[in-house]
Structure 1
Amino acid sequence: MSTQPHIYRLEGLSCTNCAAKFEKNIKEIPSVEDLQLNFGASKLTVTGNVTIEQLEKAGAFDGIRVYEESYRPELGEKRSFWSSRENRATVSSFVFLLAALFIEFGTAAPGWVPIVFYVAAIAIGGFSLFRTGLANLIRFEFDMKTLMTIAIIGAAIIGEWQEGAVVVLLFALSEALEGYSMDKARQSIRSLMNIAPNSATVRRGTELATLDVNDIQIGDTMLVKPGQKIAMDGIVAVGESSINEAAITGESMPKHKQIGDAVFAGSLNEEGFLEVTVTKRVQDTTIAKIIHLVEEAQAEKAPSQQFVDRFAAFYTPAILLVALLVATLPPLAFSGDWSEWIYRGLTVLVVGCPCALVVSTPVAIVTAIGNAAKNGVLIKGGVYLEELGRIQAIAFDKTGTLSEGRPAVTDVITFHSYTTEQVIALAAGIEQFSQHPLASAIVRYATDQTIAPVATTGFRSLTGRGAYAEVDGQQVKIGSPALFGEHEELSQSLCETILSLQQDGKTVVVLGSEDKIYALLAVADPVREVSASTISRLKAMGMQRLVMLTGDNAVTAQAINRKLGLDTVEANLLPEQKLEKIRALQKDHGSVAMVGDGVNDAPALASATVGIAMGGAGTDTALETADVALLADDLTKLPYTMELSRKTLTIIKQNIGFALALKVIALLLIIPGWLTLWMAVLADVGSTVLVVLNSMRLLRVKE
């Protein structure tokens, strides 16, 4: 019977070759049924009965540490430099190398004395390297450590002890730098993991206790003081306060929360005391879902990474063949010096190490996705990150995307000396019993203006037209102009006023009785304040086509577009028609993004090259279904996301091009003998460091 998968977090997983070997070692444990290793997130999922000790033994060759999934490193937690066996070995190797150089060039000691120190430097600094490399060599597994082991042993055989010691030292430094760089790239996830506190004060009955978040249950009441972070998702039961959700959504402005409002784990309570009823377990909170999705996204291989992996599979054997030919062909065919050409063959092996090439894509992808998550944008995988960089056209849903998605009263025009307060009180008195969105807008307006609804009786809804009720014994109606039919006060000038409001994209509601029209109320779905500036920024970035796809009427859609300046407006569309429009855009422009609310327009979102959901952080549908989710429901994040993806594409191309170009140049320098063994290692280390530093530039991309 299969056991449930168990998730572990890893430390010390520094390179893709090490990850592959670690994965292979775990598969050899008899009780392991299945496993998934996420290199980017440094996370391991194992199905089967296995202990942490067994897993750490499988990773002992690289000093990999294994922890339970709940393990969260404390911010600022630092390990001693000397606690690392690799660091101690590297420093010791460096000391022996310096001693050997001093003895060889600064004293008159016999020639064998510095060799002893060179051998000590090689043995101490390269012990873990040789152990892995020789084991791989026996199994004919040719990875980076195998190539380096052959090169160093070859250097010792031909008497290049100094070169061998320098190569060991430089390789140890490169391993440390690669581990450090990947750790920096993973910091974005670690910072997400530390957003929510590990414990909270909980009241159960009359008792208060500080509990670990893993022990808090749904229905518990958390007490949150001003200045404290909220530990779990929940609903405010007592109190009100300003809550800063920037850590979750990237939105800097605090939100006012009161009884009945949802709050998220990791958000900061700024001023008031709150009692919060817990609604989700720790593994189901919004921040936990975001972390999980970001980690899964980093495990997804982008197209360029898949290319590099396929290329590397042929590249390493090709380098071995070239090195063999360089070492043997000139001596055999042209009577070249064996020692000289073996040395050059070994140099080819060192130059051929694909370190920079292998990390060129994953470190950029991990960094970019982590940066996006910290800024309130969830990108579900490297493939979507790359596709975003190629987008040439964007289609927008209107309601809830370009507009607020919630109708609001925009105009109140009164007649017969009625005041705005009077007509709103009358309208709210009738509409408070209705479930229609326009009715809700009027009731909200009354509440916002602190206008109390008048008392009404005999409410009745007239489907598709409006409603009426009794006010002080008189029937008062509210609804569409059609409800008032041939009303004597529905004059031509009044009809022209109604038509003018409708042409501005507003829905007109008439309030009146059998003998009088009291007022016209215009209701509209307001355009988001940031929509126009976002469209302008996207045009400035060179987007070829920006389109609105809406099921609303053409008059309303065109009225909104006069404020936005989109290239095309398509109105009166059913969901399947939106899908057809997306496919037509793809034929004309190739890569197309669709921006919607994550709930509606599912076919169009799914059909687009990249589906982008305007989903608040608590919207499960947006988190689960979209390729990209804008967690703050903030349209300004879209240009930032496009810029980040384009920058990522550029950096990946730079990394791959630089890594390959440096290899070619180094190989050409070997032929005339201008490149030494230690220079080859330095070139390889340098290229890896530069590729990583270039990828780190993605951390500087801001909104």
Structure 2
Amino acid sequence: MRQHYRLEGLSCANCAAKFEKNIRELPEVKEVQLNFGASKLMVDGAASVEDLERAGAFDGIKVRQENEKAPTRIPFWKTGEAKSMFASLPFLIGGWLLLLQYGEEFPAAIGLFALSIVIGGHRLLRTGLVNLFKWEFDMKTLMTIAIIGAAIIGEWGEGAVVVFLFAISEVLERYSMDRARNSIRSLMEIAPQQATIIRNGLEEVTAVEDTKIGEVMLIRPGQKIPLDGKVKSGSSFVNQAAITGESVSVLKSAGDEVFAGTLNEEGAMEVEITKWAEDTTLAKIIHLVEEAQAEKAPSQAFIDRFAKYYTPAIMVIALLVAVIPPLLFGAVWTEWIYSGLAVLVVGCPCALVISTPVAIVTAIGHAAKKGVLIKGGVHLENAGNIRTVAFDKTGTLTEGKPAVTAVDSFSEMDENEILAYAAAIERYSQHPLAKAIVQKAKDLPAVYAENFQSKTGRGVQAVIDGELYWVGRVEAAQELADEVEQKMDSLRSQGQTIMLFGRGDEILGSIAAADTIREESKSIVQRLYEAGVKNTVMLTGDHRMSAAGIAQKLGITQVEAELLPEDKLQKIKELQNGKGKIAMVGDGINDAPALAIADVGIAMGGAGTDTALETADIAFMADDLHQLPSTIRLSRKTLKIIKQNVVFALGLKVLALLLIIPGWLTLWLAIFADMGATLLVVLNSLRLMKWK
């Protein structure tokens, strides 16, 4: 039986790996998956919460059921670790005052240092000794060896300083990781846990888990919507920022979809529930973000492999530093053992191991709050390396709501007849151009069609009064009169799309339609170039001349027109061969194959569109192109911060290790370098929370 749990107190990547290993060794556990970024645990087996907490007792990890309410958060300075740290400080200060006055051998000074070590480091020493007996060498093991070694060679003061600085590092690291996880935690707390349901004409407040699809919720002004649904009656402006990132409220009335966690502002509404609590758009976002945070980015996987060899290498170096100078050159044993212990401390891999995941967790969680769903570290990294962006035209660069602009007859039928017959056929189609024709013909006498058929990428046909009529692409026609071709070229040069109308093999007329270019499209394309994108490509089924007219207005560098749906897939493959990393931007429905094969598939309008959430690597929950250059900038900033983190983590350690040569590397300086590297990495990553 699979159980999902939330974890409290999980702040160290090494500790997370050890916790997972301990759980895996429990006899009743078949499978375990630990998500460090989301602080979440999946266990397949009969292990109890008590069993799991015992497995994490070495780091004080607390376990609770996934649906159990989170405990009230206490300030980081009131945690057990912080209290021990503060309690040890007076003994540390007292010991140093006595040492400075009476010397290193003064028993009272040694006693105060020993008390400071025990009070501030009892958790560290207990875990480190257990690890040492199990021959497990992690950060706490290395620290324990260093502290015991310092005491043995008489450096009690420095041992106490190491314990105190390490405690500061642990407390601040835990606080920083909590800050990094705040984005996803705040998402989880958005939706109300109770809903007001109208049952038998009476209002009843019930837990969202106990509601049913089809029941009606009453949403009062100022209340958050507890579950996804459709407005049954009433209307109101709803703030959807929690889901889509849009700051402008949207008017919702009968028939409109609303999402859990959004805020009803003005009017009262009755909303029919359409999804269970665990299936709401918000729940899907949270689940996908947590899965994304668990997925290791390429850089993180590399760092993890590197760390496996790095720790043993540091231990070997520390041993060589401690024994070679005394053995080969007659140096003083205590001095070089001390230097070896300092190498152990400075070599702790904590900052290196955490350098990538903390940046990934922060970026993905914060982006989700802004309405951008990034489904994994690998996609975040790929987005940072995008060189070419390919756009689907309809619904992405344009509004996706074309309108008929002209109807021409090449036969005895007049324009209204052509429009009425075409609307009769297109009434069965879902294509945006079909809807434009039906809308234009709504006031004309109705014509009835039967035996409707759709020819993908070519057009549609149906039988009217016993004869076969069709509406289709110009490219499907064999030949056209010169004057007809010239008229069509004139319309196409203005960015209009032409459809032919015919009967059997005869062309009877044409219908021109134009889709409105989104106001922001031109500025977005320009911002992409400013963000470092080198090429932009439009992929469309439109005639080449129509597509070229729109591309020229927007500043798009390459046009691929007259494409069938399967052709878009092939074009993406061709672009991947010579244009670097490719992003494909579409609506997530017609463009699903192209989105899937692109290096980064980006779907527009993910809110309420399951296909977009499932198909794309990145989904913009609002139908907002502005999020595209911003997301690329976020990805590039994340990559930059990861590189900075690795440089900080390794650079500070290398610098500290170089101090061994003149003999300047002390234990307290070593722990300060290790602590400094860890805090620099975490604080540097938290800068991503300022992304807008």
Normalising by structure 2, report the TM-score: 0.89
| Residues 143-154 of structure 1 mapped to structure 2, 5 A cutoff | 143-154=138-149
Match of 1:279 among 254, 274, 277: 274
Q: Does the 8 Å contact 2:641/2:684 carry over to 1?
A: yes
> Is 1:685–2:675 an aligned residue pair?
yes
1:117 aligns with 2:112: yes
Change in CA separation of 1:26 and 1:600 when aligned onto 2, cut-off 3 Å:
same
Alpha-carbon displacement from aligned partner over 1:475-534 (angstroms, at most 9, x marks no partner): xx998999xxxxxxxx999997665334323246899xxxxxxx9975222222221111
2:43 matches 1:46 = yes
Within 5 A, what are the aligned runs for 1:299-338?
299-338=294-333
The Cα shift of 1:583 comes to 2.1
* TM-fit CA distance, 1:395: 1.3
The residue matched to 2:386 in structure 1 has which SS? coil
| Equivalence map 1:21-40=2 (5 Å) | 21-40=18-37
Q: 1:493 to 1:426 in 2, by over 3 A?
A: closer
For 2:76 and 2:471, locate their aligned partners in 1 and report how far apart those are by CA, in whole Å.
75
Does the C-alpha gap of structure 1 residues 411 and 117 become closer, same or farther in structure 2, counting only changes over 3 Å? farther
Structure 2 counterpart SS, 1:595: strand
Tell me if the contact between 1:615 and 1:623 (Cα under 8 Å) persists in the aligned partners. Answer: no
Q: Which residue of 2 aligns with 1:250?
A: 245
Deviation at 1:269, TM superposition (A): 1.1
Residues 427 and 478, structure 1, Cα contact 8 Å, conserved in 2: no
Residue identity in the other structure for 2:257: A
- Does the 8 Å CA contact 1:13/1:179 hold for their aligned counterparts? yes
Aligned to 2:412: none
C-alpha separation in 2, matches of 1:49 and 1:203: 40
Q: Secondary structure at the match of 1:583?
A: helix
1-side partners of 2:97 and 2:387: how far apart? 62
* Aligned-pair CA distance for 1:73: 4.2
Supply the distance in 2 between the matched residues of 1:136 and 1:695 (Cα, whole angstroms).
30
Deviations 1:308-334 (A, max 9, x none): 111111111111111111111111111
CA 1:371–1:467 in structure 2 vs 1: closer, same or farther (change >3 Å)?
Answer: same
The equivalent of 2:555 in structure 1 is 565
Counterparts of 2:353 and 2:632 in 1: how far apart (Å)?
25
The alpha-carbon deviation at position 548 of structure 1 amounts to 1.1
1:241 aligns with 2:236: yes
Query: What are the superposed Cα offsets for residues 403-456 of structure 1, whole Å, 9 maximum, x if unpaired?
Result: 22232345799xxxxxxxxx999978994893355453255579xxxxx836x3
Match of 1:435 in 2: 428
Looking at structure 2, the residues matched to 320 and 67 of structure 1 have their Cα atoms a distance apart, in angstroms, of 37
Listed as ranges, the matches of 1:513-528 within 5 Å are 522-528=512-518
Alignment-derived partner of residue 17 in structure 1: 14
- The within-5 A match list for 1:423-572 is 431=423, 434-436=427-429, 437=431, 438=433, 440-441=435-436, 444=439, 453=443, 456=445, 459-460=448-449, 500-507=490-497, 522-572=512-562
Change in Cα spacing, 1:354 to 1:412, as seen in structure 2 (3 Å) is: same
**SS of match in other structure, 1:140:** coil
Q: What residue identity is the alignment partner of 2:37?
A: G
Q: Distance in 2 between matches of 1:207 and 1:142?
A: 63
Residue identity matched to 2:564 = L
After superposition, residues 618-633 of structure 1 pair within 5 angstroms as 618-633=608-623
Matched to 1:153, the amino acid is I
Aligned partner of 2:180 in structure 1 is 185
Root-mean-square deviation over aligned CA pairs? 3.1
Structure 2: stretches of 5+ with no match in the other structure:
409-414, 453-458, 475-480, 502-508
Change (3 A) 1:85 1:609: same
- In structure 2, what is the Cα distance between the partners aligned to 1:6 and 1:166? 42
Kept in 2: contact 1:405–1:525 (CA 8 A): yes
Q: What is the alpha-carbon distance in structure 1 between the residues aligned to residue 417 and residue 7 of structure 2?
A: 63
**Aligned partner of residue 126 in structure 1, secondary structure:** helix
Q: Distance in 1 between matches of 2:143 and 2:103?
A: 32
Equivalent residue, structure 2, for 1:85: 80
Residues 282/462 of structure 1: CA separation in 2 closer, same or farther (3 Å cut) = closer
Whether contact under 8 Å (2:399, 2:517) holds in the other structure is yes
Partner residue in 2 for 1:474: none
Mean Cα deviation higher: 521-530 or 283-292 = 521-530
Q: For residues 177-219 of structure 1, what are the alpha-carbon distances to aligned partners after superposition, in whole Å with 9 as ceiling and x for unaligned? A: 1111111110110111112111111112223211122222212
1:459 to partner: Cα distance: 4.0
Matches of 1:27 and 1:481, distance apart in 2: 61
Q: Would the alpha carbon gap of residues 479 and 462 (structure 1) be closer, same or farther in structure 2, given more than 3 Å must change?
A: farther
Alpha carbons 2:497, 2:542 under 8 Å: kept: no
Which of 594, 614, 620 is residue 604 of structure 2 equivalent to?
614
495-504 vs 622-631, which moves further: 495-504
Alignment match, 1:175: 170
**8 Å CA contact retained: 2:422, 2:471:** no
Q: What amino acid does structure 2 have at the position aligned with 1:47? A: D
Unaligned segments of structure 1, at least 5 residues:
414-422, 447-451, 471-476, 483-490, 512-518
1:575 positional shift: 3.3
For residues 149-175 of structure 1, give each alpha carbon's deviation from its aligned partner in whole angstroms, at most 9, with x where no partner exists. Answer: 000000000010100000000001101
Q: Which of 101-110 and 607-616 deviates more?
A: 101-110
Tell me the distance in 2 between the aligned counterparts of 1:426 and 1:606.
39
Q: Is the 8 A contact 2:424 2:447 kept in 1?
A: no
**C-alpha separation between the residues in 2 aligned to 1:426 and 1:223?**
48
Q: Which amino acid aligns with 2:33?
A: Q
The amino acid that maps onto 1:43 is: K
User: 2:271 is paired with a residue of what secondary structure?
Assistant: strand
Aligned residue identity for 1:298: Q
CA distance in 1, matches of 2:270, 2:524: 38
Counterpart for residue 157 of structure 1 = 152
Residue equivalent to 2:92: 97
Residue-pair matches, total: 663
> C-alpha distance in 1, partners of 2:615/2:483?
50
Q: Which residue of 2 aligns with 1:488?
A: none
The percentage of aligned residue pairs carrying the same residue is: 58
Q: What's the counterpart of residue 344 of structure 2? A: 349
1:595 shift after superposition: 1.4
| Alignment of 1:698 onto 2:691 | no
C-alpha distance in 1 between matches for 2:165 and 2:472: 80
- Give per-residue Cα distances to partners, 1:77-130, cap 9 Å, x unaligned: 531557522122111111211222233346799811121111011011111111
Match for residue 139 of structure 1 among 121, 126, 134 = 134
Match of 1:653 in 2: 643
Q: Residues 190 and 428 (structure 1 numbering): CA distance in 2 closer, same or farther, change over 3 Å?
A: farther
Cα drift, residue 590 of structure 1 = 2.5
Residue type of the alignment partner of 1:32: V
User: Whole-Å Cα distance in 2 between the matches of residues 30 and 56 of structure 1?
Assistant: 15
Between the aligned partners of 2:424 and 2:564, the Cα distance in structure 1 is 31
Q: Distance in 1 between matches of 2:278 and 2:525?
A: 37
Q: Secondary structure at the match of 2:32?
A: strand
Cα distance change, pair 49–521 in 1 and its aligned pair in 2 (3 A): same
Question: Match for 2:529: what amino acid?
Answer: K
CA distance in 1, matches of 2:594, 2:76: 53
Mapped to 1, the partners of 2:193 and 2:368 lie a distance apart of 21
3-state SS of paired residue (1:573)? coil
Matched, 1:636 2:626: yes
How big is the shift at 1:32?
A: 1.3
Preserved contact between residue 648 and residue 680 of structure 2 (Cα < 8 Å): no
Q: Distance in 1 between matches of 2:541 and 2:35?
A: 42
Residues in 2 aligned to 1:649 and 1:671: alpha-carbon distance in whole angstroms: 34
Is contact 1:459-1:467 (8 Å) kept?
no
CA distance in 2, matches of 1:12, 1:189: 16
